[in-house]
């Protein structure tokens, strides 16, 4: 980073809060899925919603 450029976030900011705010205000739909595994084979058989932002 060039010496004359200040960081955009304060050093004590929590990056997970910043990410959550960015996702919440995004005009683009964002969906987080988690895999669902078959009990017998362990293969991925489906995806479950974990989080959807308002635009999704």
Secondary structure, 3-state, the chain: CCCCCCCCCCCCCCHHHHHHHHHHHCCCCCEEEEEEECCCCCCEEEEEEEEECCCC
- pTM, two decimals, is 0.57
Q: What pLDDT, on a 0 to 100 scale, did the predictor assign at position 9?
A: 62
pLDDT in tens, 7-53: 666 666 677 788 888 888 999 999 989 999 999 999 999 999 998 88
């Amino acid at each position: 980073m060039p010496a004359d450029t200040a960081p955009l976030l304060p050093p004590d900011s929590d990056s997970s809060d910043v990410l959550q705010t960015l996702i919440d205000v995004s005009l683009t739909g964002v969906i987080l899925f988690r895999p669902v595994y078959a009990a017998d084979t362990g293969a991925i058989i489906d995806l479950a919603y974990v989080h959807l932002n308002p635009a999704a």
